[in-house]
Chain A
Amino acid sequence: MLFMLLFSRQGKLRLQKWYMAYPDKVKKKITRELVTTILARKPKMCSFLEWKDCKIVYKRYASLYFCCAIEQNDNELLTLEIIHRYVELLDKYFGSVCELDIIFNFEKAYFILDELLIGGEIQETSKKNVLKAIASQDLLQEDETPQSFFDDHGLG
C-alpha cells in the first residue's frame, strides 16, 4: 500500500497515512485530486480506479471515504478487506464509531492503524491482538498521567 486517506463527504481530510516519501506539495496535490475524483463518482460505480501508475481502492462507510493507493500487482479485493478490518477495529475501539470520534480522537485512529499496518503491509490479522496492544499502550499512558491526557472533556 502506498498511502491511505480518510476524508468526509464534504471533501475534508480526516486522516492521512503515507508509506511513500512524497514532498508535502505532492501529497497535497494527490489528496486534492483523489478527493475530487472519488467524490465525483456515483455510488453504483465500482470501488477501483486506475490512477497514474497505481490502483485506487476506496470504500464509503457512512459519511467517511476510506481510500487506499496500492501497487499494480496488489489485490484490490484484499485491500477492501483491509479497509473493512480497520473500520471494524475503530468500531470496536470507539464503540460504534462515527466521524466525530475520528475527528476528535484522530491520534487514536492513527495508533490503531499503526498496529494494523506497518509500512503499508498488514501486520496483525487478529482483531483481538490489535485491540489488546492498543489497550495496553493506553494503559501505559494513563499510568504516567493518571487522567488520560486528552480526554479531559469526556470525548471518548
Chain B
Amino acid sequence: MYPYYEQDWSVLPPENNRRFNPAFNMATIRQAFTEAVERVRMPTPTRLRDLIRQIRAARTAAEERAVVNKECAYIRSTFREEDSVWRCRNIAKLLYIHMLGYPAHFGQLECLKLTASTRFTDKRIGYLGAMLLLDERQDVHLLITNCLKNDLNSSTQFVVGLALCTLGAIASPEMARDLASEVERLMKSPNTYIRKKATLCAFRVIRRVPELMEIFLPATRSLLSEKNHDVARNSSDTPDAFQKIVPNLVRILKNLILGGYSPEHDVSGVSDPFLQVKILRLLRILGHNDPDASEAMNDILAQVATNTETSKNVGNTILYETVLSIMDIRSEGGLRVLAVNILGRFLLNSDKNIRYVALNTLLRTVHADTSAVQRHRTTILECLKDPDVSIRRRAMELSFALINAQNIRTMTKELLLFLEKADAEFKAQCSSGMILAAERYSPTTRWHLDTQLSVLIAAGNYVRDDVVSSTIQVVSSSPVPEQTYITNRLWEWLQVANHCEDKQPMLQVAVWAIGEYGDLFMYGANEDEFERPTESDLIAVYYKFLTSAQVSTTSKQYALVSLAKLSTRLQQCVEEIQALITSFGSHLNVDLQQRGVEFTQLFGHYKHLRPPLLEKMPAMQISRISSQNGESGGGSFDDNSPDVIENGVEGGGGGGHSLIESNMNTLGDNTNILLDLLGSTDLSAGGAGDLVAATDLSNAVHKKNSRNANDVAAPVSNNQDLLDLLDLDLSAPSSTTTGAPAGGGGGGGIVALVGDNNQSSAANMNNMLGGLDLGGFGSGLDSSASIPTNGNDLASMLGGLGAPPAASAPLAAPASVGNLIDGHAGSLLADLNPTAASNNVAVPPQGPRLTALDKDGLLVQLVSVRGSDCMRIYMTTTNNSDNTLDQYLLQAAVQRSFQLQMLTPSGSVLPPGGVITQEMRVVATSNATLRMRLRIQYVLDGQQQVEQTEVSGFPEQQPAPAAAE
C-alpha cells in the first residue's frame, strides 16, 4: 500500500523513490514510526480489489453472504478502534458491499471523518461515501455541512469541486440554507471549473429551497451574458425576471447553429446539443403565454427547425425540443404546422425511440391542432402495426383522439383490424374506446349496431362490462327494424362454433336481444330474408348454453332471464321453457337457483303476472358518466337491468313494480297489476261492497271472538283499509277456509296461501288473516297483539307465521328454503302496501266529511275515522280547476293536547282533475276537542300560493270499538 509501509521502500535508490525527501526530518520519521507501530498492531486489511474478487468468486448467495459478513465485522472493528490509516480503504470496500445491497449505514460517520481529512484521496472517497450512504438525517447533516463549508473555501479547485458536487447531490433544505451564500460567492469565481459547478449547485439549492432564488438572481444574470458554453445552462426554472434576456439567448443559439466548428462540444456534427436543448427549453419557459417573447423567438425556432440535420439522434433531439417549444409558446400558425410536420417525419423514422417520442408529442398536441395532426393519420395508423408495444399503445390512443364524424368509418375499419390482432392487454381499452367513439360519431344506427357487434366479436372475452351494457342500451333505443336486424345478426353469430366460450360478452348481448325481441325475431316483419330458427331450435341453443360448463355464470343469468322473457314471446314451446327453468330450481349456484325458483313461480301461482312482468323494456336512457376508459360507467346499469326483473318476480307481483316504476318509468303495466289486485279483491269480497255492512260484520266477529281475537284485529285494523279488507274477507271465510285442503286450523289458511294459487296474492293475504282470526289459535294471537301499527311489520309478522308451513311445503329444495321464506315474506309485504295504497285511492273511507278549503277549484276535504287508539284523518285534495298545481304541500297543526302524525302524501302534483290523498293520525292525550290548522302550499304558473284554514268539528274521541255500533 503506502510505500512507507512496504518493506522495501527504503532500499530503493533515491532516484527511484518518489517519496525520497532530502528534508527528511524528525517529525516525518516520528510519524512514520507511529504509523508503522500501528500497522504492526493491526493486521493489514484485505485490499478492495481482493475483496471484490473474493465476492465474485463466491458460488452461492450464502457463500457471498459469508464473505461479506466477515468483512463487515472486520470493518466495524476497525471503525471502533479509530483506525485512521485504513479508513479510506475500508470505506471503499463498504461502498462496494453497499452496492450489493447489504446494510452499510454504520459507515456514515466514518465517511464524515474521511472528508475532514487533509488527504485528497480520503476526501474523494469520503465525499463519494457521503453521497451514497447519507440520507437526509439531521444529526449527520450538521456535521457534513461543516465539512462542506470548510472545503468550499479550500484553495484547491478540486476540493471545492468535490464539495460542490456533494452539495449538488445530497443538499437537504437546511444544508441549502446554510451554504447558499458560499455557493453564490463561488458562482462569481474567476475559475470556470468552479463557476460551472457552483451554478448547477445553485440550481439544486433553489430547487430544494425556492425562496433562496433571490440571492442567486444577480449572479445568474451576469453569467448568462458570458460566452462560455456551459455556464449559461443553469436555468431551467428561473422566473419571469429573465424576460429581457430573450434576445441574448436567441443570439447564443444563433451563434451555436451558425457559428464556427468547435470539435470539443460537437456531437456527431451538431454543436453542443446539450446547450441547444437547454436554451430551447428556457425559451419555451420564457415564451409561454408571452406574445412579445414568442414573437422574438419565432425566427430562431424556424431556423433551428429547418437547419438541424436529422440523420442522427442528436439532431432529432434538438428538433424534438424545438417542436415542444413551438407548441408551448404563442408561435405563428405556420411554425406550428412545421412542427407537426417534423413530428410526422419522426413517425417515419427507423428509430423506434423517435417514433415513440413523436406519437407522444402528437398525443399532447392533438387537441390544440387537430387538423394538422389529421394529415398524418395514415402514418399513425401504420404505427398500429409497429412491433413495439409502447408505440402501438400510443398509436392507439392517438387514433382515438383523431376520430371524428368524417373519418369514423375508415378509422373504425383500421382499429377493428388492430383489435382483432391486438394483445389481450389492448383489447379491453381498445374496445371501450371504440364504443365511445361510435357512440359519439356514428353516422347511422345500422352502422353503429354493426360496429358494436364487430367489437364484441373481435375483442371476445376481453371486453369490459361497459361495452355489453352500452350495446344493450344502443339496441334498446334503436328503431324496431334495427332491433330485428341486430337480433338476427346476433343469432347468426351465436351459430358459429366456440363463440359461447370465447365471446361471452357477445353471448350476453345476443341472449338479451333474443329474449327482449323474441317476438320480432320469430314472428316480426322479415325484411332481409333472414332464415329463422324454429322455436325448438332456439330452445335447444339455450339448453346448450345453460348446460355448458364453459359459459360463465353471468352469461347464464342473462340466458335465464332471456328464456323467461321468451316464454311470453314464443307461441309453442312454453312447456319446454318451463321445464328448463324449473331444472334450475336445484342448481348449485345460488343466484341461478334463485332465478330458477322465482321464474318457476311465474309459471305456477302467478301465471297471470308473467306477461306484464316480462314486458319489453322501454328504451333506456343514456346515463353514462363514464370516462374515456369507461371503467365505472356502464357497470351499474348492467347490474340493474336484470335486477329489476328479478325484483319484480320476487315481489310476486306487487312490490317489485314500484321498483320498476321508479327505475324504468313504466307506469303502464304497474297500473294494470294494481287493477288486477283490486279486481280480485272485489271478487273475493263478493257482494259485500257495503262498507257499513262490513264494519258491522267485523264488529260481529269481534264480539263473537274472544278478547284475543280483538287484539289481533286491533293492530291490523289500524290501517282502515286493511280492516276493510279483513272484514271483506271475513265475510267470505266460510268458503275459503273450508275450501283449504289442510285441516290444521289457521295453519290451513297459510298453507292455502302457499299451495292455493287461484286467487290474487292480495286475496291470499286476506285469507290468511281470516284464517288467523277464525282459527283463533291463542299464542299466535298474543304475539301478534304486540305488533306495531304499520303495514310493514304486519307483513313481517305474516312472514314469520308463514315460515313453518313453508318449510313443510313440498316444493322447496332444502337449500332454497331460506330464499323461499324470504321471497314470500317479501311478496306479502309487497302485496300489503300497494293494496292499501290502492284502496286509499279507490275506496274513499267512510265517515263525517269536513270541507277544509274550497277555493279556486281546489277542494280539500277531511274524513275522520276512529281507530282503536287514534283517530285517522284522510285528507283528499281535488283539483277542479284547469291548471296544474305543482309542489303541493299540506301542513297541519293541532293543539298541544293532541299528537299528530302525518304520513306521506300520495303525490305532490295536481293535474286538472287530479287527487292527492294523505293520511294523518291524531292521538288525544286529554279530553279536549280537536281543532286543526291547515296550511296548504302549491305552485301555480310558477307562483307560490299559500292558503291557511282552520278545521274543527271532528267527532269526539271515544273508546274505540264500541263507538261504531
Contact = CB atoms under 8 A, between A and B. Distances in A.
Interface of A: 12-19, 21-24, 28, 44-49, 75-78, 80-82, 85, 103-104, 106-107, 110-111, 114, 118-129, 133, 136-137, 140-141, 144-147, 149-153, 155
Contact of B158 (A12, A140, A149): A140
Nearest to B205: A119
A85 B790 CA distance: 84
A83 to B, nearest CB: 11
A14 B313 contact: no
A150 B357 contact: no
Contacts of A103: 52, 56
Select the residue from A13, A46, A147, A155 with max chain B CB neighbours within 10 A.
Answer: A46
Interface string B154-177: 001010010011001111100000
Interface of B: 1-3, 18-19, 47-50, 52, 56, 88-89, 92, 95-96, 99-101, 105, 119-121, 124-125, 128, 131-132, 135-136, 156, 158, 161, 164-165, 168-172, 193, 196-197, 200-201, 203-204, 207, 229-230, 233, 264-265, 267, 272-275, 277, 281, 313-314, 316-317, 320-321, 324, 352-357, 387-391
Contacts of B390: 45-46, 48-49
Select the residue from A17, A129, A136 with max chain B CB neighbours within 10 A.
Answer: A129
5 contacts: A114-B169, A141-B120, A145-B121, A150-B89, A153-B50
A22 B667 CA distance: 63
Contact of B197 (A78, A118, A152): A118
Contact of A21 (B18, B48, B170): B170
B388 A44 contact: yes
Contacts of B321: 75, 78
Given A21-B135, A145-B2, A46 B233 contact: no
A80 B356 contact: no
A2 to B, nearest CB: 12
B169 A119 contact: yes
Contact of B264 (A76, A82, A127, A137): A127
Contacts of A152: 1, 47, 49
A48 B391 CA distance: 10
Given A150-B49, A155-B49, A77 B357 contact: yes
A136 to B, nearest CB: 7
Contacts of A76: 353, 357
Contact of B95 (A48, A106, A119): A106
A40 to B, nearest CB: 11
A119 B200 contact: yes
A123 B197 contact: yes
Contacts of A118: 164-165, 168-169, 197, 200-201, 204
A88 B121 CA distance: 25
A81 B267 contact: yes
Given A48-B357, A76-B353, A152-B1, A122 B233 contact: yes
A48 B136 CA distance: 30
A118 B197 CA distance: 7
Contacts of B88: 149
Contacts of A44: 352, 387-388
Contact of B274 (A81, A149, A151): A81
A80 B165 contact: no
Binding site of A, secondary structure by majority: helix, strand, loop or mixed? mixed
B353 A46 contact: yes
Contacts of A75: 277, 281, 317, 320-321, 324
Contact of B169 (A19, A22, A107, A150): A19
Contacts of B105: 24
Contacts of A15: 99
Contacts of A49: 390
A8 B267 CA distance: 27
B316 A77 contact: yes
A136 B156 CA distance: 11
Contact of B229 (A45, A85, A126, A145): A126
A71 to B, nearest CB: 10
B273 A78 contact: yes
A106 B96 contact: yes
Given A75-B321, A118-B168, A125 B274 contact: yes
Contacts of B96: 106
Contacts of B158: 133, 136-137, 140
A125 B131 CA distance: 23
A45 B389 contact: yes
B127 to A, nearest CB: 9
Nearest to A155: B49
Nearest to A141: B121
A114 B264 contact: no
A16 B824 CA distance: 70
A147 B3 contact: yes
Contact of B353 (A77, A128, A146): A77
A94 to B, nearest CB: 15
Given A103-B52, A122-B233, A137-B124, A81 B388 contact: no
A49 B281 CA distance: 22
Contacts of A149: 1, 88-89, 121
B353 A48 contact: yes
Given A24-B135, A46-B356, A75-B281, 17 more contacts: A12-B100, A13-B101, A21-B170, A104-B49, A104-B52, A106-B95, A118-B169, A122-B233, A123-B196, A125-B229, A126-B229, A126-B230, A140-B120, A144-B119, A145-B2, A150-B48, A151-B49
